[in-house]
A = this chain, B = another copy of it.
Amino acid sequence: MDFINQMQGKQSVKYFATPLILEYASVCGSKENDGPLREHFDECCTDDMFGSDTWEKAESAMQKRTLETLFKKSGLKESDIKYIFAGDLLGQLIASTFGIIDYEIPFFGLYGACSTMGESLSLGSMAVAGGYAKKVITMASSHFASAEKTFRFPLEYGNQRPYSATWTVTGCGAVVLGESGNERLVPKAKIKGVTTGKIVDYGVMDSMNMGACMAPAAADVIRANLEDFNIKPDYYDRIITGDLGYVGQKILFDLLGAINIDITKNHMDCGIEIYDSEKQDTHAGGSGCGCSASVLCGYILEKISSGEWKRVLFVPTGALLSPVSFNEGQSVPGIAHAVIIENMEV
């Protein structure tokens, strides 16, 4: 089957029939509304409850608004979509379960911590390129309050946060992936291939320093991508990690520098971009699977679509932490999934 979808190297796939990003949408919360990327999101809701009575329902409501926006922007109907690949940070994926429950679309639930948008784009693009679906939706979300409650402390506790801590983004991003050809929609970008990450554990035990937990996984999957495709970092206009923040970025540069890979000139991190860290008191930056998902489905895809960036390696990064494993003394391993996204003219 190698002629159909080239299997490139150990961890990667290069598509023969390149799946297209046909449309995208993003909805965020009030803190993102105050941040520097505000104009790039489809909507920022100043009510972080999104009209709901619990934080979890609020996250589901945000997912629904994102899907509504996606259907509106694309003009597509529910019946046009064969599968939805989605996930979030909450136990048993309840934000996604109740976010998509009103849609009659076959569902694959995914958990990759904050790397989930990379995982959903990878599996969604495999489904389209494999000929299993003409169109799929891939989506990920996080919500500051539901995540703090799950992983750290209830907001009412008012705990202090070290400078290494990141701020979970209240945000959701979703894209429609579709087959090449026969399409009335103008494609925004294409997915050339993916590199799937392994679990990488450096034994970090600090749940308030997610950047340090995730940086080794990001370094590993970026190295694998460059090796599998036999390319140099400057092949990409940008190599964009999910939510390493300032602390994780420095570790990433150090780890890659040690194996002679220099990405300092073209690296960007969604967690660093989404907030004005000094003005907004967000310490090391933004995090959560909604961070990379919402920045992709606005800022990044705008730049790729316009041609300002020809080729991007999108690398959402996840810390595989649960309150149970952490309190039982387990480390916080990381995982990251890389997706090659290109301008249509490339």
Contact = CB atoms under 8 A, between A and B. Distances in A.
* Interface hub of A2, A17, A92, A107 (most chain B Cβ within 10 A): A92
A320 B92 contact: yes
A322 B92 contact: yes
Interface residues of A, number: 64
B131 A56 contact: no
* Interface hub of A111, A134, A322 (most chain B Cβ within 10 A): A111
Interface string A1-42: 110110100110100010000000000000000000000000
* Interface hub of A13, A130, A330 (most chain B Cβ within 10 A): A130
Nearest to A6: B131
A11 B106 CA distance: 7
* Interface hub of A1, A7, A17 (most chain B Cβ within 10 A): A1
Contacts of A92: 89, 91, 111, 113, 320-322, 325
A131 B4 contact: yes
Interface of A: 1-2, 4-5, 7, 10-11, 13, 17, 54, 56-57, 79, 82-83, 87, 89-94, 97-98, 100-101, 104-113, 119, 122-123, 126-127, 129-134, 150, 179, 196-199, 201, 320-325, 328, 330, 333, 335
